[in-house]
Amino acid sequence: MSDGPLNRQQIQERLLDSPFNAFLALEVVTADPTKAEVVMRLKMRPQFERLAGTGIWHGGPIAAAIDIVGDYCLAMLFGKPVPTTNLRVDYLRPGKQTLTLVAHIRRSGKTLAVVDVDVLSETGDLVAIGRANYSTATA
Protein backbone atom coordinates (compact mmCIF):
# COMPACT_ATOMS: atom_id res chain seq x y z
CA MET A 1 0.00 0.00 0.00
CA SER A 2 1.02 3.57 -0.52
CA ASP A 3 0.97 6.35 2.04
CA GLY A 4 -1.96 7.86 0.14
CA PRO A 5 -3.38 8.22 -3.32
CA LEU A 6 -0.91 8.54 -6.20
CA ASN A 7 -0.99 11.82 -8.08
CA ARG A 8 -0.90 12.28 -11.86
CA GLN A 9 2.89 12.54 -12.02
CA GLN A 10 3.47 9.48 -9.83
CA ILE A 11 1.16 7.40 -12.05
CA GLN A 12 2.97 8.65 -15.16
CA GLU A 13 6.31 7.62 -13.67
CA ARG A 14 5.06 4.17 -12.63
CA LEU A 15 3.73 3.52 -16.13
CA LEU A 16 7.32 3.67 -17.35
CA ASP A 17 8.28 0.73 -15.12
CA SER A 18 6.80 -1.61 -17.75
CA PRO A 19 8.50 -1.75 -21.18
CA PHE A 20 5.13 -2.47 -22.83
CA ASN A 21 3.45 0.47 -21.10
CA ALA A 22 6.39 2.67 -22.05
CA PHE A 23 6.00 1.53 -25.69
CA LEU A 24 2.33 2.55 -25.71
CA ALA A 25 3.35 5.96 -24.33
CA LEU A 26 0.10 6.67 -22.51
CA GLU A 27 -0.11 10.22 -21.17
CA VAL A 28 -1.83 10.72 -17.82
CA VAL A 29 -4.12 13.74 -18.12
CA THR A 30 -5.84 13.65 -14.72
CA ALA A 31 -5.94 11.43 -11.65
CA ASP A 32 -8.75 12.22 -9.23
CA PRO A 33 -9.07 9.88 -6.23
CA THR A 34 -12.18 11.67 -4.95
CA LYS A 35 -14.00 10.87 -8.22
CA ALA A 36 -12.22 7.47 -8.53
CA GLU A 37 -11.29 8.53 -12.07
CA VAL A 38 -8.18 8.53 -14.24
CA VAL A 39 -7.98 10.05 -17.73
CA MET A 40 -5.20 9.17 -20.17
CA ARG A 41 -4.43 9.91 -23.83
CA LEU A 42 -3.05 7.51 -26.42
CA LYS A 43 -1.61 8.96 -29.63
CA MET A 44 -1.89 7.15 -32.96
CA ARG A 45 1.33 5.76 -34.41
CA PRO A 46 1.81 3.57 -37.49
CA GLN A 47 2.41 0.52 -35.24
CA PHE A 48 -1.18 0.85 -33.93
CA GLU A 49 -2.94 0.89 -37.31
CA ARG A 50 -5.36 -1.86 -38.28
CA LEU A 51 -4.13 -1.67 -41.87
CA ALA A 52 -1.03 0.27 -42.95
CA GLY A 53 -1.74 3.79 -44.10
CA THR A 54 -5.39 3.90 -42.98
CA GLY A 55 -4.91 5.77 -39.70
CA ILE A 56 -7.57 3.49 -38.16
CA TRP A 57 -6.82 1.92 -34.79
CA HIS A 58 -6.27 -1.82 -34.42
CA GLY A 59 -8.37 -3.24 -31.57
CA GLY A 60 -5.37 -4.77 -29.79
CA PRO A 61 -3.73 -1.52 -28.63
CA ILE A 62 -7.17 -0.21 -27.63
CA ALA A 63 -7.84 -3.29 -25.48
CA ALA A 64 -4.37 -3.11 -23.94
CA ALA A 65 -4.84 0.58 -23.14
CA ILE A 66 -8.24 -0.12 -21.54
CA ASP A 67 -6.64 -2.74 -19.29
CA ILE A 68 -3.73 -0.48 -18.33
CA VAL A 69 -5.82 2.65 -17.68
CA GLY A 70 -8.29 0.63 -15.59
CA ASP A 71 -5.46 -0.93 -13.62
CA TYR A 72 -3.78 2.40 -12.94
CA CYS A 73 -7.08 3.89 -11.84
CA LEU A 74 -6.89 1.33 -9.02
CA ALA A 75 -3.14 1.85 -8.60
CA MET A 76 -3.94 5.50 -7.92
CA LEU A 77 -5.59 4.29 -4.68
CA PHE A 78 -3.47 1.21 -3.86
CA GLY A 79 -0.07 2.60 -4.81
CA LYS A 80 0.65 -0.23 -7.25
CA PRO A 81 -1.02 -2.05 -10.14
CA VAL A 82 -3.00 -5.23 -9.41
CA PRO A 83 -3.58 -8.36 -11.53
CA THR A 84 -6.31 -8.35 -14.18
CA THR A 85 -8.77 -11.23 -13.85
CA ASN A 86 -11.14 -10.42 -16.71
CA LEU A 87 -11.40 -7.92 -19.55
CA ARG A 88 -14.25 -7.20 -21.93
CA VAL A 89 -14.17 -4.69 -24.78
CA ASP A 90 -16.99 -3.54 -27.05
CA TYR A 91 -15.82 -1.69 -30.16
CA LEU A 92 -18.45 0.80 -31.30
CA ARG A 93 -16.86 2.67 -34.22
CA PRO A 94 -13.48 3.02 -35.90
CA GLY A 95 -11.06 5.24 -34.05
CA LYS A 96 -8.58 7.64 -35.62
CA GLN A 97 -5.95 10.00 -34.26
CA THR A 98 -5.52 10.49 -30.50
CA LEU A 99 -7.82 8.57 -28.16
CA THR A 100 -8.84 9.62 -24.66
CA LEU A 101 -9.52 6.90 -22.11
CA VAL A 102 -11.61 7.69 -19.04
CA ALA A 103 -11.58 5.08 -16.26
CA HIS A 104 -14.05 4.96 -13.36
CA ILE A 105 -13.87 2.56 -10.45
CA ARG A 106 -17.32 0.98 -10.10
CA ARG A 107 -16.47 -1.17 -7.11
CA SER A 108 -13.36 -1.95 -5.13
CA GLY A 109 -13.74 -4.72 -2.57
CA LYS A 110 -11.42 -6.92 -0.52
CA THR A 111 -10.83 -9.41 -3.34
CA LEU A 112 -12.18 -7.91 -6.57
CA ALA A 113 -12.50 -4.51 -8.24
CA VAL A 114 -14.51 -3.49 -11.30
CA VAL A 115 -13.43 -0.59 -13.50
CA ASP A 116 -15.25 0.81 -16.55
CA VAL A 117 -13.31 2.62 -19.28
CA ASP A 118 -14.73 4.83 -22.04
CA VAL A 119 -12.55 5.33 -25.13
CA LEU A 120 -13.27 8.62 -26.89
CA SER A 121 -12.20 10.08 -30.22
CA GLU A 122 -10.84 13.61 -30.52
CA THR A 123 -14.39 14.77 -31.34
CA GLY A 124 -15.80 13.09 -28.23
CA ASP A 125 -17.40 10.13 -30.03
CA LEU A 126 -17.43 6.87 -28.09
CA VAL A 127 -15.05 4.50 -29.93
CA ALA A 128 -15.10 1.61 -27.43
CA ILE A 129 -16.13 0.71 -23.92
CA GLY A 130 -14.33 -1.68 -21.65
CA ARG A 131 -14.92 -3.30 -18.31
CA ALA A 132 -12.15 -5.01 -16.41
CA ASN A 133 -12.00 -6.93 -13.17
CA TYR A 134 -8.87 -6.88 -11.02
CA SER A 135 -7.76 -8.92 -8.03
CA THR A 136 -7.42 -6.64 -5.03
CA ALA A 137 -6.53 -9.47 -2.62
CA THR A 138 -2.84 -8.66 -3.09
CA ALA A 139 -3.25 -4.89 -2.90
Q: Over the stretch 63-74, which tens digit does the pLDDT of each residue have? A: 999 999 999 999
Considering the domain boundaries, does residue 2 fall inside one?
no
* Whole-angstrom distance, CA of residue 136 vs CA of residue 128: 25
Q: What is the CATH number of the domain that holds 95?
A: 3.10.129.10
Q: Give the pLDDT confidence of 113-122 residue by residue, as tens digits.
A: 999 999 999 9
pLDDT the model gives residue 1: 43
Give the residue, 60 or 3, on which the prediction is more confident: 60
pLDDT at 110 over 50: yes
Considering the domain boundaries, does residue 3 fall inside one?
no
Buried b / exposed e over 16-37, threshold 16 CB at 10 Å, is eeeeebeebebebeebeeeebb
Considering the domain boundaries, does residue 84 fall inside one?
yes
Considering the domain boundaries, does residue 97 fall inside one?
yes
pLDDT at 44 over 90: yes
Average pLDDT of the segment spanning 87-99: 97
**What's the structural domain count of the chain?**
1
Question: What's the chain's average pLDDT?
Answer: 95
**Residue type at position 20:** F
pLDDT the model gives residue 3: 58
* Whole-angstrom distance, CA of residue 81 vs CA of residue 126: 26
Range of the domain at 114: 8-135
Average pLDDT of the segment spanning 39-48: 97
Considering the domain boundaries, does residue 48 fall inside one?
yes
